[in-house]
Amino acid sequence: MTARHFDLSNRLCLVTGSSQGIGLALAKGLAEYGARVVLNGRDPDKLAKAAADLRAERCDVETAPFDVTKADDVAAGVENIERSLGPIDVLINNAGMQFRTPLEDFPAERWEQLLATNVSSVFYTGQAVARHMIKRGRGKIVNIASVQAELARPGIAPYTATKGAVRNLTRGMCTDWAKHGLQINAIAPGYCKTPLNQALVDSEEFSSWLEKRTPAGRWGDVEELVGAAVFLSSDASSFVNGHTLYVDGGITVSL
């Protein structure tokens, strides 16, 4: 295996939820390895700013604003990308959200929102993109799970449920689509400094607990997820399928 196996030149990569945080970091990382990246989100203004920032760093970037929680919007958005920009070679299913409150007080509407954003979006977008990939006999799908697919903390039981679903949906996608030449895997980030986690980052008590709980002894940086994304998006992972890669500083293997 050589460096060319990690080269993403001439590949079109759609990254959902990529106007900030993990999605934006992954989009930038893929672009740095040669990919043409399509940023996705619901806010056209935020996408435009993110795209401008990446272009300033000489990344090849397009935008595709649509709501990944709505099946019809996803189908139309994916069709538009395939028609106007070209075939999608790589899909990073990154869109996600968090809501923290004791389980007995968890609002039903927030439960439905979590399911739509963290699980349904993966199904809708994965299915819409895979239909094109299957016809071509190739394609990469990388779903963003979480260490919460393995672990639970007070106040986030529904989030934990959704990320466990993403891990198993990844396995199911592999079982159905590997025979068509697709590789479908997941990345499970540990605790990274993101807008989603800002309240925890700012909490001295939580940060102290996390640093003691994590063998690496620190928060992760979103840029540290790029290597896993490039690997799973490239030819280097041609026989890796249905796998969840934990990038977590060791938190899932230590008591």
d(CA 196, CA 199): 8
Q: How confident is the model at residue 241 (pLDDT cuts 50, 70, 90)?
A: very high
How would residue 196 be classed by pLDDT, with cut points 50, 70 and 90?
confident
The set of residues, in sequence order, having a beta carbon less than 8 Å from that of 171 and lying 6+ positions away, is: 242
Q: What is the pLDDT of residues 199-223, one digit of tens each?
A: 899 999 999 999 999 999 999 999 9
62 contact partners, CB below 8 Å, separation of at least 6: 36, 37, 38, 39, 51, 85
Told to judge if 159 belongs to the known catalytic residues of this protein, a careful annotator would answer: yes
Q: Report whether 47 contacts 121 (CB < 8 A).
A: no
Q: Residue 84: inside a domain, yes or no?
A: yes
**What CATH number is associated with residue 106?**
3.40.50.720
- Which residue segment(s) compose the domain that 137 sits in? 3-192+220-247
In a domain, 215, yes or no: no
The conformation of residue 3, written as its DSSP 8-state character, comes to: G
Q: Does 2 have pLDDT greater than 90?
A: no
Is the confidence at residue 1, as pLDDT, over 80?
no
Distance CA(13)–CA(228), nearest Å, equals 15
Indicate whether 255 belongs to any domain: no
Helix (H, G, I), strand (E, B) or coil at 107: coil
Count CB-CB contacts under 10 A for residue 22.
25
What percent of the chain lies above the pLDDT cut of 90?
Answer: 96
Domain count, the chain: 1
Tell me the C-alpha to C-alpha distance, in Å, between residue 181 and each of 9, 101, 129, 173, 175.
Answer: 20, 42, 14, 12, 11
Q: Is 209 part of a structural domain of the chain?
A: no
For residue 195, pLDDT beyond 90: no
User: What pLDDT score was predicted for residue 144?
Assistant: 98
The answer as to whether 115 is a domain residue is yes
* 73 belongs to a structural domain: yes
Summarised one tens digit per residue, pLDDT across range 78-134 is 999 999 999 999 999 999 999 999 999 999 999 999 999 999 999 999 999 999 999
Question: Helices 121-136 and 71-84 sit at what angle, rounded to 10 degrees?
Answer: 40
Rounded mean pLDDT, 156-184? 98
199 found inside a domain? no
Tokens standing for residue 12: 């079109």
User: Is 67 part of a structural domain of the chain?
Assistant: yes
Q: Pick the catalytic residue: 33, 124, 159, 246?
A: 159
Question: Residue 255 — very low, low, confident or very high, per pLDDT cuts 50/70/90?
Answer: confident
Q: Considering only residues 54 and 195, tell me which one the structure prediction assigns the higher pLDDT.
A: 54
